[in-house]
Every structure is written in structure tokens, then in C-alpha cells.
Structure 1
Amino acid sequence: MALTLTTRSGRVELRYPSEEYDEAVVAMRSQPFTLRYLPHSPQTNTIEEARALRLAHTSAKNRIPFQIITTNTKDLVGSAALHRIDRARRSCDVGIVLREEYARGGYATDALHAMMKHAFEEEKMHRVSFYTSDRNVPMRGWLEMAGVKLEGVLREALPVGDGEFMDDCIYGVLESDWEQVVKPKLEERIDRLR
């Protein structure tokens, strides 16, 4: 499904992944900044691997992948997806990865707002989940700022090599949370940044 989402601020769009950005994806997915919270991700990437990943993601029935692109310069900000979509249970997970130079600039807020809006209002999801490492303090802080609820911790669920593991934190948003808490908080934050 080739889908483009317009964000509230208009600074970025979420577009269906294209070959045009494979090289930028390789650079992003090779940065230590990106890899520090993605221990299961390859430590190096090639154009062929980026292409194979893009093709796998775009052909998956339970995934809606996006590339986050600036509207003015057409730069790749990051990648995101609604994944593990379960239409029978009306649930999905959200994932996002940003290039370091775009972190802490409101781009994730804009992108995540657009994705959750699409999930709840267009896809009619009942719940949206986020999984993040216990060490990913910036993401955990963002989720908590947005009113997303910490639902649990999967202890030592993420291998990081040499017999070491990280905990995986599960956050969740229900339809009622989206309407009453999360959506208003994110929209207020986006509007302040404009």
C-alpha cells in the first residue's frame, strides 16, 4: 500500500519507502547513534541489504513502512513503521529511527503523531504499542511526556552480544488514551514548535 502521511507541522511527510533513499538509509543505519538502541540490527549495512530490507518491508502484509522526508529539502530524516498489524485484534506496534542530526528537533513528535493518527483514525486500531530498550532514555522520556503508559518490562529480552542483554520496555496507547491524552498533548507540542 503506497501511502503518504502529511504531518501537522508540514515540516516532514511520511512516504512509502523508495529506492532513492537507500543510500541515506545505509548511512543512517550505520551510525553509532542509531545502533546504540538497536542491538539486533546489523552493525554495518550495504546498499544491497538496504534494498532487501526495503523490499521485505514493503511486501509485508502486516506492516506499513514509511520514510520520513523533509518537505523543503527532501532530506531523509528517518524511517518509521506501523508493524505487527493485527486487524482481528485491532492492534499494531510503532517503530521509528531518526538520523542523529534530526534528533531532539520535534521531527519524531510530528512523525509519531501522524502515524498514531493514521493507526487510530484510519486503520481503526484499538491499541498501539511501542517497544524500546530500557537504556533508550530519550524515547522513554518522550513516551512518558506524551502520556503513553508503561505496561511492562521484558527482562533481558534484547541480546547485545557477549552474553549481555537489555530489558525491553513495553508502552501502550488505547483509543481512549489517544483521544483524551496523547493526541492533545502532541498537538499542543507541535503547535508550540511551529
Structure 2
Amino acid sequence: MSGPISGWAGRAAAAELENAAVALRAVRESDRAAVRAVAMDPDIWRYFVSRVDTEEDFERFFSTMLTDLAAGRRVPYVVLDRSRGRIAGSMSFGNLAQADGRLEIGWSWLGRDFRGRGINRPAKHLLLGFAFETLGAERVEFKTDVLNEPARAGLRGIGAVEEGVLRSFNPMPDGRRRDAVFYSVLRAEWPAVDRRLSRVAVAP
């Protein structure tokens, strides 16, 4: 049996983050049914490196989240829409390179009823704030499919800087080789990004 998660992964796993719009906490077994209720939507997985089309797919997907969390490989959070009191989706910290001061925010998705409702930016704001202000990260990175224009627009919208495309980065379930586009926010840029996201949070 593995011991307690240490370092950045342990601190992130123990965190409970919230603002006026959303609350985030590490996924747990008791979330399985609520996550399934929003995850069984093929539109979510169009640009993911895995698919959740069947009950078996979902069970594998959810169990992987728990396994990754227990091993400290990734810290998957459930995103709760505070206005509805429901799980809206999930986002994760991953690729936690503590010695290099670098981590990734990704594995992000929201259910159909929660997209376009002011969930993504407040959730990303919490994760970025925790990464820079609590963990002390120097660089937070994001990546997505070069074809995923909504995700790319969302990353630009939170103030992340587009860095470039890594061609033929990984295989996709349909056999296509994905070109991955990378974005980042650096510690020196965080105050401006924080102000930008804070203005969004209070806008009517």
C-alpha cells in the first residue's frame, strides 16, 4: 500500500478551493455517480486523447482519476457549480515538476449544462492562484489540440500566452496524430492575469 502523497501533489490533493462561482476539491469515490451524470456526452471528448462513450469507458476513466490521485501522478478535482450545488465537470493539476517549479493545468471538461455559464474562468482562476501563491510555481502550462478552437480561445481569454505547436504529439482514438499547441502563464505574469480574471469574476 502506498503512503501519503507528498510534495506539491499532496498539498494540492488536500486543498479545497472556492470563490463565489465554483468550488474545487480532489475527486473521491463517492463522486462516481455525479460525475457519470455529466460525463456521458460525446461532445466533451471530441478533442481528448481518450473517449468516454460507454459505461465501461466511464468506469475506466473514473478509476484512472482515483488511481492517479492516489499515486500522486495527477490531482483531479471535481468542479462544483455553487449556484446549482452540482458537479459541473473536472480539472486537474498534472506533470508536477516541483524541482523545476513547473506544472500543468489540464484534463479539463464541463458537462453540457454547464458550458458557457461562467464556470471555466473562475475555476482556472482558483487553480492558477493556488499554483503560484501556495505551491510557489514559476510556470503553469496548458496544452490542447490545435484543432480545438474553443479551448484555444478560452486559454487566450484567461491571459495564457501561446508558445507554439508540437507536431504529431500523440495519437488520437480516431487514428489521427494530434498536433498539440502549448500555452503558459509565468510567475511574473500572474499579477496581471489575476487582475484580469478578478474583473471577469465581478462583471455582471
TM-score w.r.t. length of structure 2: 0.84
In structure 2, relative to structure 1, the CA distance for the partners of 1:175 and 1:156 (3 Å cut) is: same
Alignment equivalent of 1:16, drawn from 26, 35, 42: 26
Aligned length: 190
1:82 and 1:29 map into 2 onto residues whose CA distance is: 19
Q: Contact between 2:50 and 2:173, CA under 8 Å: does it hold in 1?
A: no
Of 150, 163, 188, the residue aligned with 1:151 is 163
Percent of pairs with identical residues: 28
Task: Choose which of 148, 153, 156 in structure 2 pairs with 1:136.
Answer: 148
Tell me by how many angstroms 1:108 deviates: 0.5
How far apart in 2 are the matches of 1:108 and 1:75?
Answer: 15
Superposed CA deviations along residues 40-87 of structure 1, whole A, max 9, x for unmatched, are: 344334464255223213213243321011224321111111111111
1:6 corresponds to which letter in structure 2? E
CA-CA distance at 1:142 after TM superposition? 1.5
Contact 1:70/1:77 (8 A) holds in 2? yes
1:70-108 Cα deviation digits (max 9, x unpaired): 224321111111111111001100011111211111100
Retained in 2: the 8 A contact 1:26–1:50? no
Mapped contact 1:22–1:50 kept (Cα < 8 A): no
Is the alpha carbon distance of 1:162 and 1:31 closer, same or farther for their aligned partners in structure 2, counting shifts above 3 Å? Answer: closer
Q: Is the 8 A contact 2:158 2:197 kept in 1?
A: yes
Structure 2, unpaired ranges of 5+ = 1-12
Who is 2:48 aligned against? 38
Q: How does 1:14-163 map to 2 (within 5 A)?
A: 14-46=24-56, 48-95=59-106, 96-161=108-173, 163=175
Equivalent AA in structure 1 for residue 69 of structure 2: T
- Residue aligning to 1:178: 190
Instruction: Give the Cα separation in 1 of the matches to 2:168 and 2:86.
Output: 36
Q: CA-atom RMSD, angstroms?
A: 1.9
In 2, the alpha carbon distance for the partners of 1:190 and 1:162 equals 37
Structure 2 distance, partners of 1:59, 1:98, is: 23
Q: Give unpaired runs (5+ residues) of structure 1.
A: none
Structure 1 residues 176 and 165: alpha-carbon distance in aligned structure 2, compared to 1, 3 A threshold: same
Runs of 4 or more, structure 1, over 4 Å off, are none
The letter for the 1-side match of 2:118 is G
Contact 1:91–1:127, Cα closer than 8 Å, also in 2: yes
